């Protein structure tokens, strides 16, 4: 009997996905460059509907047509000229495949490489899907959030398998056809950018509590409580659990023993570059990426801490009150982070003609993925009520939420600033909110400056839009 599905790349993600697909009643063929890994994997799972192939030829021959082959190997091509393991596997597969066979890249590929592969495989008469898969190891095994891009007709063929292996929320599978070409990997990239924002915001809340003298156990309780309320999310949940964790040797909090230098793999930076190219403001995500960069300069920070002065921390706010205020600052900032990320998706979707449905995209992030959160229901509702929403902040629920939380949000940004506690993402979020709602910004003066030194011209408030003026400014000597 031929297999329903094939997977290449038996590392953490691949193995878990295979077990997930198999557990839904499909027979799965597997192949890995290093054969020993395949043998070990098959030996570890006796009695399952798995076919371990030693060669790629054997693997391809074991699959029912049209073949459905998912690649889960390391992906790191970014520039147009880069070729990575995904390309290597595709090149090896091409001579073995037949017209209409489907190749799926489920790795974290850069969306432009996905577009390149989509065209390339189409020229060869093959079908390609670039699918973002979120949820890490556990998601892959039990049900990830899947963001597939490519032709709608190819999605229809893959739909039964993708829907059965994905996470489910209220009975709805956390997978939809995102759009053509690189749309799936693009949306996964922005998902990761939003994840950066969420994580940094949580860290800023923690840092304020720490400065205010909370113990890690007290902080764990705050996050555990928040996970029962409107801010329930996977990241809040794991934060509470992480803060509870003690080092078995010393009995100290593990979190407090961890060096404060953050790593990153690049999806956050790609998001920033893409936002700049599209002229979309994602200041919260930007602040989050930059916070990781600054954290990594540990030596420079230690040296500067002895040179550059700041205020003495003195937080007198009563603990319960501080918790409430930080809750509001975090919730409001999180809304801004999503508003910005969704604005970028919307802008890019329109430029690329992807026909994206922001409400449905938010709905598939409700389960399986790292940013899964209760409030994504509200985002889904907001776009279901008004698909043309220009910015999430303007949806009635979020408008009201920002209005109700803003006093506490402002107080927390002020409190942190006065105490010299860095809150780059909280304050970037608030700055965005205040700029976005400003009828008039100081850009009139900026235009005057530009016209002064560069004769760039300006429009006038008392003249029709589109008419440009120039002033003969006085000469400045010296
Ligand atoms: P890795 O990203 O660590 O990749 C290891 C796999 O790639 C192994 O099967 C390895 O085969 C294979 N491989 C390499 Br490396 N070079 C190859 C080549 N030239 N030809 C054929 N195979 C090659 O695995 P992973 O962590 O499971 O991630 C897989 C994909 O999923 C990546 O794109 C990753 O970014 C993405 N992803 C990962 C996570 C996560 O939580 N880990 C979450 C979401 C998405 P070998 O055994 O012969 O060395």
DSSP string for 73-124? ------STT---HHHHHHHHHGGG--TT-EEEE-S---HHHHHHHHHHHHHT
Q: Kindly state if the Cβ of 11 falls inside 6 Å of ligand 1.
A: yes
Q: Which of 463, 187, 470 is nearest to 341 (CA)?
A: 187
pLDDT score of 402:
98
pLDDT per residue as tens digits for the range 74-109: 999 988 899 999 999 999 999 999 999 999 999 999
> Which atom from ligand 1 is nearest to the alpha carbon of 34?
48
Residue 374 annotated as binding site: no
Give the pLDDT confidence score for residue 264 in this predicted structure: 84
Burial of 313 (0-12, 13-18, 19+ CB in 10 A): middle
133 Cβ inside 6 Å of ligand 1: yes
pLDDT at residue 235 above 80? Answer: yes
Tokens 């398998």, residue located: 161
Expressed in angstroms and rounded, the spacing between residue 72 Cα and the centre of ligand 1 is 6
- Structure confidence at residue 267 as a pLDDT band (50, 70, 90): confident
**pLDDT recorded at residue 116:** 97
Q: What average pLDDT score do residues 446-455 get? A: 97
Average pLDDT over residues 401-421: 98
Residue 89 alpha carbon to ligand 1 centre in Å = 12
Ligand 1 centre from 39 Cα, in Å?
A: 17
Task: Please compute the mean of the pLDDT values over residues 227-244 and round it to a whole number.
Answer: 97
Q: 9 CB under 6 A from ligand 1? A: yes
Asked whether residue 477 carries a pLDDT value surpassing 90, the answer given is: no
Give me the chain's average pLDDT, please: 97
pLDDT band at 200 (very low <50, low <70, confident <90, very high): very high
Distance CA 73, CA 66 (A): 22
How many angstroms separate the CA atoms of 229 and 200, rounded? 20
108 is in an annotated binding site: yes
395-410 pLDDT tens trace: 999 999 999 999 999 9
Can you tell me the mean pLDDT for 464-478?
95
Is 191 labelled as part of a ligand binding site?
yes
CA–CA gap between residue 357 and residue 97 (Å, rounded)? 33
- Note if the bond before 66 is cis, omega within 30 degrees: yes
Mean pLDDT value of segment 198-223: 98
Structure tokens at 464: 């029709």
Say which CATH superfamily domain 5-181 falls into.
NAD(P)-binding Rossmann-like Domain (3.40.50.720)
Q: Where in the chain is the domain with CATH 1.20.5.320?
A: 441-478
Ligand 1 mean position, distance from CA 276 (Å): 30
Predicted local confidence at residue 320, as pLDDT:
98
User: For residue 131, what are the contacts with CB-CB under 8 A and spacing of at least 6?
Assistant: 70, 104, 105, 106, 146, 147, 148, 149, 162, 184, 185
33 lines ligand 1 (CB under 6 A): yes
- Do the strands 127-134 and 145-149 form a parallel or antiparallel pair, or are they unpaired? antiparallel
* Distance between CA atoms of residues 378 and 356, nearest Å: 18
DSSP H or E segment with residue 444: helix 443-454
For residue 427, what pLDDT band results from cuts at 50, 70 and 90?
very high
Please say whether the structural domain 441-478 has been given the CATH code 3.10.20.30.
no
470 is in an annotated binding site: no
pLDDT, tens digit, 9 for 90 and up, residues 288-309: 999 999 999 999 999 999 999 9
CATH 1.10.1040.10 boundaries in the chain: 188-436
pLDDT at residue 79, rounded to an integer: 86
Mean pLDDT confidence for 47-68: 98
Alpha carbons within 13 angstroms on the beta-carbon side of residue 246 total 7
Does the CB atom of residue 34 touch ligand 1 within 6 A? Answer: yes
pLDDT band at 265 (very low <50, low <70, confident <90, very high): confident
How many angstroms does the Cα of residue 9 sit away from the middle of ligand 1? Answer: 6
Pick the CATH number of 188-436 from 1.10.1040.10, 1.10.1740.10, 3.40.50.300, 1.10.3720.10: 1.10.1040.10
pLDDT band at 444 (very low <50, low <70, confident <90, very high): very high
Segment holding 129, helix H or strand E:
strand 127-134
Task: Please give the order of strands across the beta sheet that includes 50-52.
Answer: 50-52, 28-31, 5-8, 68-71, 102-105, 127-134, 145-149
Q: Model pTM?
A: 0.95
What the block records as the tokens of 101 is 């066979």
Protein residue with its CA nearest to atom 6 in ligand 1? 73
Task: Give the ligand 1 atom nearest the CA of 10.
Answer: 9
Confidence category of residue 138, pLDDT binned at 50, 70, 90: very high
The pLDDT of residue 456 is above 90: yes
Cβ of residue 36 lying under 6 Å from some atom of ligand 1: no
Long-range contacts of 258-262 (CB under 8 A, 24+ apart): 259/298, 260/295, 260/298, 261/295, 261/296, 261/298, 262/291, 262/292, 262/295, 262/296
């Amino acid at each position: 009997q031929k297999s329903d599905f094939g997977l290449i790349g038996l590392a953490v993600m691949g193995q878990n996905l295979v077990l997930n697909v198999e557990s839904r009643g499909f027979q799965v063929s597997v192949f890995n460059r290093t054969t020993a890994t395949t043998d070990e994997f098959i030996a570890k799972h006796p009695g399952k509907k798995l076919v371990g192939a030693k060669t790629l030829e054997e693997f391809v021959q074991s699959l029912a047509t049209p073949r459905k082959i998912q690649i889960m190997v390391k992906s790191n091509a970014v520039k147009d000229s880069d070729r990575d393991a995904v390309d290597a596997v595709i090149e090896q597969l091409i001579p073995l495949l037949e017209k209409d066979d489907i190749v799926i890249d489920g790795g974290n590929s850069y969306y432009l490489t996905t577009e390149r592969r989509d065209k390339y495989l189409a020229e060869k008469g093959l079908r390609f899907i670039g699918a973002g898969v979120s949820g890490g190891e556990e998601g892959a095994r039990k049900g990830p959030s899947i963001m597939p891009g490519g032709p709608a007709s190819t999605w229809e063929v893959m739909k039964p398998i993708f829907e059965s292996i994905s996470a489910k929320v209220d009975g709805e599978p956390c997978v939809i056809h995102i759009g053509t070409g690189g749309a799936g990997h693009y949306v996964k990239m922005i998902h990761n950018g939003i994840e950066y924002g969420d994580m940094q915001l949580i860290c800023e809340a923690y840092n304020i509590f720490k400065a205010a003298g909370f113990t890690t156990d007290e902080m764990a309780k705050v996050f555990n409580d928040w996970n029962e309320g409107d801010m329930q999310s996977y990241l809040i949940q794991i934060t509470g659990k992480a803060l509870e964790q003690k080092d078995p040797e010393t009995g100290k909090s593990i979190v407090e023993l961890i060096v404060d230098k953050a790593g990153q793999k690049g999806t956050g930076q790609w998001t920033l570059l893409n936002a700049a190219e599209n002229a979309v403001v994602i200041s919260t995500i930007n602040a989050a990426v930059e916070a990781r960069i600054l954290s990594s300069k540990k030596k420079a920070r230690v040296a500067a801490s002895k040179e550059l002065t700041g205020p003495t921390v003195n937080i007198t706010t009563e603990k319960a009150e501080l918790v409430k205020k930080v809750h509001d600052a975090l919730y409001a900032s999180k809304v801004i982070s999503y508003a910005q990320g969704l604005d970028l998706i919307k802008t890019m979707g329109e430029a690329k003609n992807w026909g994206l449905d922001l409400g449905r995209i938010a709905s598939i992030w409700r389960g399986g993925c790292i940013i899964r959160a209760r409030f994504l229901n509200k985002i889904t509702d907001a776009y279901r009520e008004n698909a043309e929403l220009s910015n999430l902040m303007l949806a009635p629920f979020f408008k009201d939420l920002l209005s109700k939380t803003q006093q506490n949000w402002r107080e927390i940004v002020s409190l942190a600033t006065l105490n010299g506690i860095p809150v780059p993402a909280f304050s970037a979020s608030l700055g965005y909110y205040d700029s976005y709602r400003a009828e008039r910004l100081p850009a009139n003066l900026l235009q005057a400056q530009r016209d002064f030194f560069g004769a760039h011209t300006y429009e006038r408030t008392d003249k029709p839009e589109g008419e440009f003026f120039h002033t003969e400014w006085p000469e400045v000597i010296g």
